Amino acid sequence: MRERFIEVLHEDYAQSLSIDNILYDNKSKLQHIQVFENRRFGRVLTLDGVVQTTEGDEYIYHEMLTHVPILAHSCARHVLIIGGGDGGMAREVLRHKLVESVTMVEIDERVISFSKTYLPSLSNGAFDDPRLNLVIADGADFVGKADSKYDVIIIDSTDPVGPGEVLFSKSFYGSAKSLLNPDGVLVTQNGVPFMQPDELKGTMRAFQQLFTDWGCYIATIPTYAGGPMAFGWGSLSSSARDVSIEVLADRLAATGIDLRYYTPSIHKAAFSLPRYIEKLLP
């Protein structure tokens, strides 16, 4: 039998992918990074035994964490990404011509350099865009010290184990909030609630205390196994959330961007939650 990757995220449940060709395998003090090829999903990036992204389904995750907040906000010019070293998030943000600057704060330089080599379709030139300002630093340190303001902040983290853990704390969210412009929106990767209910619970409790408008929205990404993934949403005003399908459609048409998952009606529908997820909210 061919070699297989077995995910170690949950103690009692695992997804397994055939490793049809291994391209990169590097263990450092910070993280264990692997890239391999799988017939169904294309190239797969894993950190510490957990799938982070695959060529086959990355667009669902990246489109939903970028176009939802950017199109909801009428004029996002300055965007901050915490994490996202593979460049997929930066790529999607930079498709918006009105965005003037993207600051991306990645803790592990190796993720960027090998992604350029082994996963070039993820960044698709984003690292060469003059609007991208790349910072190699701990995201929590960065938000604690920064004094610039942003219209949209995207937390593209790993799960709350290892280096990603602090990115789920109330103090981190509080510092990130202080970097938002008045109509700004913060969005987060919040795990798969069926498998990781406490992750969403904790974030939503913090958001309730920090934001005027808070909640979450969902999308199903095949390799984040176990049901839909939740994305946290926090804003200091409800104007971004209240936008209609028609307005979103006009804004999307004005960008001229062609998408594979996002539609204005998906955008609105994503905030309708199944009861088991609704029950995790305070």
Enclosing H/E stretch for 122: helix 120-123
For 32-72, give the DSSP string: EEEEEEETTTEEEEEETTEEEEETTTHHHHHHHHHHHHHHH
Is there a catalytic annotation at residue 242?
A: no
Contacting residue, 44, 79, 159, 173, with ligand AG3 by CB under 6 A: 159
**Region binding ligand AG3 by CB under 6 A among candidate stretches 156-164, 204-212, 234-242, 273-281:** 156-164
Residue 88 touches ligand AG3, criterion: CB under 6 A: yes
Residue 106 touches ligand AG3, criterion: CB under 6 A: no
Q: How far apart are CA 126 and CA 142, in angstroms?
A: 21
Q: Please identify which of the residues 57, 86, 151, 156 carries the catalytic annotation.
A: 156
Residue 153 touches ligand AG3, criterion: CB under 6 A: no
Which residues in the chain belong to E strands, given as ranges? 4-6, 16-18, 21-27, 32-38, 42-47, 50-54, 78-83, 101-106, 132-136, 150-156, 180-189, 213-219, 229-235
Shortest reach from residue 263's CB to ligand AG3, in Å: 21
- Site for ligand AG3, residues 4 to 23, rule: CB under 6 A: 9
Residue 57 touches ligand AG3, criterion: CB under 6 A: no
Taking CB atoms, the residue at the shortest distance from ligand AG3 is 224
Q: How far apart are CA 52 and CA 45, in angstroms?
A: 6
- Site for ligand AG3, residues 164 to 223, rule: CB under 6 A: 189, 191-192
Q: How far apart are CA 279 and CA 230, in angstroms?
A: 13
Q: Strands of 132-136's sheet, edge to edge?
A: 132-136, 101-106, 78-83, 150-156, 180-189, 229-235, 213-219
Q: How far apart are CA 76 and CA 96, in angstroms?
A: 9
Shortest reach from residue 43's CB to ligand AG3, in Å: 13
Residue 53 touches ligand AG3, criterion: CB under 6 A: yes
Nearer to ligand AG3, 20 or 55 (CB): 55
Contacting residue, 89, 94, 107, 204, with ligand AG3 by CB under 6 A: 89
**Region binding ligand AG3 by CB under 6 A among candidate stretches 104-112, 138-146, 151-159, 247-255:** 151-159
Residue 151 touches ligand AG3, criterion: CB under 6 A: no
Q: How far apart are CA 22 and CA 39, in angstroms?
A: 12
Residue 230 touches ligand AG3, criterion: CB under 6 A: no
DSSP SS3 for 22: strand
Relative to beta strand 180-189, strand 229-235 is: antiparallel
Contacting residue, 103, 115, 123, 158, with ligand AG3 by CB under 6 A: 158
Shortest reach from residue 244's CB to ligand AG3, in Å: 30
Instruction: State which amino acid sits at residue 116.
Output: K
Q: Which residues are catalytic?
A: 156
Q: By the criterion CB under 6 A, which residues form the site for ligand AG3?
A: 9, 50, 52-53, 84, 86, 88-89, 156, 158-159, 189, 191-192, 224
